[in-house]
Chain A
Amino acid sequence: MTNPVFVVVGAVNRGKSSIVSTLAENDAVIIEKTLGTTKEAQTFAFRIDGQTLYTLIDTPGFELARQALAWLQKHEHLHVDRAAVVRQFIREHVGRGAFPQECELLQPILDGGAILYVVDSSVPFSPLHQAEMEILQWTMQPRMALLNQIHEDDYAAEWRQGLDQYFNIKLEFNALKVDLRQRIKLLQTLIILNAAWQKPLGQAMQAILNEYRYRIEDSATSIAHTLVAMLTLRLECDVPADDDLEPHKQALKQRYDDQLRLLEAECFRQIRERYEHRHLHVDHTGFPAVQEDLLETSHWQFLDVKQWWAVAGGAAAGAIIGGTIDAGVGASSFLAGTVIGTGIGGIAGLVGSYKLPEVSVDVSLPLLGALKLKPFRRAAPHHRIKKLTIGPMQNRLFPYVVLSRAVRYHHLILTRPHARREQLSLSLVMNDNEETEWMTRAHKSAFDTQLRNLTQTPDGSLTELAACIRDIIEAYEGFYSHLALL
């Protein structure tokens, strides 16, 4: 039993290549508004460990359907089997320039491919398509119609009526808006064409779901690595003691900020690559084409990163310090230390919640230089320096900001069909009417725990942090609802 082959056919510019691009997750498939972009039939095989489960074939559109049907009707009497007439049509015209597109799209069908006939349901149904459907019917292969709504108008009802005569199975499938659930539904529907395809298509569906799970895991790992790198980033620079420090401080701060942005850009690139968005256009500066800059604190409030999280962290730290003082005085302070410490810590957390690292100057000189002994100063002139340092990040909200941006970016990439070609320029800011809570209290608690563990055992906690982020992403995506598909 050979694996199923699905030949995507239809009129020109009806979204065949878009559908193939989305199903094959290939954003290199050429999709243009110009006519006849697809010239040759192209095969996209779905494989697991090298074993092909099914194959998609993108074909050029019908260009001379009426004339081809006229030829077939004229020669119908030559064969009992209509499919044989179609074979003769191909034999007589292939390579001779008369019906190049028709030969190209009919050959894989006659080789055993099932037909996926794509129509644009945003335009009115036209009797012109009757010739195409008639020709496809002559091939006597299993067939199914896909209604791809390219524009806003909806003529699906007209199309369903018009397709009734030739297609028993019709499915609405918008290549630019399809999600994982609809991809799975398409595969489930294809099983109806041939029950023998249940095993390979079932394996394909399971593999797609597993692959999505793996992609979320890998994306979570990338985010975890990025988070650790950002939180531990520390830059230094030595400046001659006699120099004006201000330009050096600004340069170091700029370098630090750029490094943070680059880390985020690299994380976003890895997420895009994981989801096979290899040709996604991004901003020319190399930073992700998002409208809000990572370090622009004015947008943090729109990321559903609650300021009280910084207050809570500061208050907790203050409570510990105050509690220690209370214990030291034998509780004769009546826990005033704890209360005051909580208050001060909370205020400090609130005040510093949007504060980013600044450059600090280390005026201490190396050991021998500090002695200021003349012989040593003369012997080691390069020790007369000041050290500028920036980092690591102490802002308590920053990990949440990074995580929130990354989770949103991941969502945008995950839900972006590969058929979309416009430049990626995304706003990560949540709309006011969105009520989606991206992180539950339980997830926040787990995330806080992992952040604390990071300070003690960075390497050991990386895996746990990635697992925590994975849980957050899966909950955000409602991933578990997809598992009910099978």
Chain B
Amino acid sequence: MEHQSRDQEHGRIEEYKIISLVFQARARLALRSYMQHSLHQTSRLMPADVIDLAYFFHRDRDVSHAEKHERDRDIALANPNASDDTARLCTWLSVMRKRQGMDGQRPIRDLLQGLRVLLFGIGIALGAFTVGGWLSLNKLLSPEAAPSGVNVIYFWSATVGWQLLMLTVLGVRMGLGDWANHIPGLGGLRRWLHHLPSCILKIAGIIIHRFKPSQRQALYTLQAWLTQSQRYQRLMLWYPLSLRQRFAVGLNLGLAGMFLFFSFASQPDFRWQSEQFNCTSLERATRVISWPWHWLAPQGRPSPNHIRITYHHPDPIDAHSDCQPTAGAVAPKWWPFLFASMLVYGLIPRVFLDVLSSWQVHRAARHVALHHPDSRELLLRMQRPLVDTGARVQPAPAGFTPPLASLEPEREAPTVSCGRGFVFKWAGVLLSDDEIHDLVRRQWGIDTVALYEVGGLDVSRDEKALFALETSRNIDQVLLLVEAWQPPVTDYRNFVTQLRQTLRDDQMIWVLLYHRDPDGDIVTPRESDLDQWRTTLEHIDAWLRVKPMIEESA
């Protein structure tokens, strides 16, 4: 039997060992994945990031949308692992800081962290100095001047009581929501507590007005930045609170630490004296105050006899009647009660509020960063594809440069009139030979002695036509009929040049512009076409003039 029970026990122990190992392994695995996640999780927005964001947005105010889009999209494409908005913002901030030459440096963050450390240190120092100075008073003063013991009530009020009051005010401020407006009086209190911080800005405005005009502008700018706290409202609520709690945590640590040290090192003599409290009422008060911890540490609650023993009154006649100690009383110790009070009503709430406000600061920073209108636009720019339609390609300069000065004829050019005409008809002019003969005679009284078609697909016909002109005699007018809507390209210019080489220098060349409407009727060419032909051809040949084939609609 004994053997069996030993085996059973052994089995249970082994079972517990296995279960314990499994839990340990799971815990290690969870911790490892958390650490890995934390290491890769660079995406956590802090108040310093909000400040940096505001700074970069301010710098971007004069940058064009296109440049910002290109820059931000490039950052997004270079960092595809950023999967949510927070990660994208953090990535963007990291890249922008690097470009600013702030590689690895975070001056704002360091400043804010330094501020927190400083406040913490000041709190510790202040708390330690307060308690240490108070409890050392009797050591510093002469025995006649030194008070007999430390008044517990004063000591408790100074170290714990006022903190309870501040916590109550804070609780009221935080606890009053919109529902308070329905309760008479509470609504007003809520509004007063809510607007209390803004009084600082109003006072600042009054003070600013006292400055010289030259100084006011800079101060108004600062005030304007502070009034933008509407955007940063949650952050402006929680961040100062977080700083205060950090100070308060330090203060309570200093208080509690120094108190413990003195309690063991010099064992101060705690007594109490009060006209308002008698032993019974003080005993009730300590019972209420010690309720949170007395079940855990009964020595943290002073016994009624304890209270009687430590009661002190210089005049025994006026002493409270219920404060007579019983016989066989144990040496009293107030320090557990005081220390527990410091912990429960001082340090622990402040630590809790510190953690809560830090968490809320991170939440508020994240909220501000993500919901800032400029942040929304930034995130959109990072996510939108960069579409380049070629809009920003710089085109090459124009190729054609007309001559600087027009060539003036040596004598006044004659008008197209009378005589024998040699006509070149450019391919595409849809007029028959007879129509051209008739038109030329009617318009200018010219007899057409020869008409050749040029400009067709067979380029040799151009040369034949020019040769025919060269061998012709007694030609008064040379006419070239072209389609007005065709641009005077190199082909035309070359032909005109060749034509000039065939003629004498002062022989006029008339380029007649032919145009037809959709019905096929010959009409006056467009003014723009006429100008283009004139600008191009009359500049290369002084004895060339461009005219419409008909001056008015046929």
Contact = CB atoms under 8 A, between A and B. Distances in A.
Interface of A: 11-13, 23-26, 28-30, 32-40, 42-50, 56, 58, 60-67, 69-70, 101, 120, 123-124, 126-128, 130-131, 151, 153-155, 207-208, 210-211, 214, 217-218, 221, 238, 270, 273-274, 276, 278, 366-367, 380, 382, 418, 457-460, 462-463
Contacts of B209: 366
Interface stretch (B49-57, B287-295, B388-396): B388-396
Contacts of B536: 35
> What are the 8 tightest A-B residue pairs by CB atom distance, in nearest-first order?
A39-B399, A44-B390, A24-B390, A123-B485, A36-B400, A63-B490, A276-B391, A126-B428
A182 B144 CA distance: 105
A457 B490 contact: no
Contacts of A40: 396, 399
Interface string B356-373: 000000000000000111
Given A35-B532, A366-B209, A61 B386 contact: no
Contacts, number: 176
Interface in B479-501: 483, 485-491, 494
B427 A127 contact: yes
A35 B386 contact: no
B266 to A, nearest CB: 55
Contacts of A274: 65
Most buried by A among B386, B389, B400, B427: B389
B487 A25 contact: no
Contacts of B64: 273
A153 B489 contact: no
B330 interface: no
Given A66-B456, A70-B459, A50 B488 contact: no
B390 A63 contact: no
15 contacts: A24-B391, A34-B532, A35-B487, A35-B488, A35-B532, A40-B396, A46-B388, A47-B388, A50-B77, A66-B456, A66-B459, A66-B491, A127-B456, A128-B483, A459-B372
A38 B491 CA distance: 17
Contact of B398 (A37, A56, A273): A37
A38 B395 CA distance: 9
A44 B393 contact: yes
Interface residues of B, number: 61
Given A58-B395, A123-B485, A124-B430, 12 more contacts: A13-B487, A30-B397, A30-B398, A33-B528, A37-B398, A39-B398, A40-B396, A45-B388, A47-B388, A48-B385, A128-B455, A459-B231
A255 B412 CA distance: 61
A462 B371 CA distance: 11
B206 A367 contact: yes
Contacts of B455: 66, 128
B516 A124 contact: yes
B428 A29 contact: no
Contact of B393 (A42, A49, A208, A221): A42
A218 B398 contact: no
Nearest to B523: A153
Nearest to A456: B230
B518 interface: yes
Nearest to A124: B516
B237 to A, nearest CB: 15
Contact of A46 (B210, B390, B459, B489): B390
A12 B487 CA distance: 6
Contacts of A60: 399
A25 B428 contact: no
B390 A45 contact: yes
Interface of B: 64-66, 73, 77, 206, 209-210, 212-213, 230-231, 371-373, 376-377, 380, 384-400, 402, 427-428, 430, 455-459, 483, 485-491, 494, 516-518, 526, 528, 532, 535-536
Q: Decide if the interface of chain B is mainly helix, strand, loop or mixed.
A: loop
Contacts of B491: 63-67
Find the residue from B73, B377, B491 having the highest chain A CB count within 10 A. B491
A49 to B, nearest CB: 5
Contacts of B457: 66, 69-70, 130-131
A23 B209 CA distance: 58
A61 B209 CA distance: 70
Contacts of A46: 387-390
Given A11-B487, A207-B385, A270-B65, A25 B395 contact: no
Given A49-B386, A273-B65, A29 B456 contact: no
A365 to B, nearest CB: 11
B399 A36 contact: yes
Contacts of B231: 459
A293 B459 CA distance: 61
Contacts of B528: 33
Nearest to A46: B389
B518 A154 contact: yes
Contacts of B391: 24-26, 276, 278, 418
A124 B65 contact: no
A459 B397 CA distance: 47
A238 B220 CA distance: 15
Contact of A208 (B387, B486, B516): B387
Contacts of B485: 120, 123-124
A48 B387 contact: yes
A12 B395 contact: no
A38 B459 contact: no
Nearest to A58: B395
Given A39-B398, A126-B483, A273-B65, A214 B384 contact: yes
A11 B371 CA distance: 55
A218 B388 contact: no
A66 B398 CA distance: 24
Nearest to B392: A26
B387 A211 contact: yes
A459 B375 CA distance: 12
Contacts of B210: 366, 380
B346 to A, nearest CB: 38
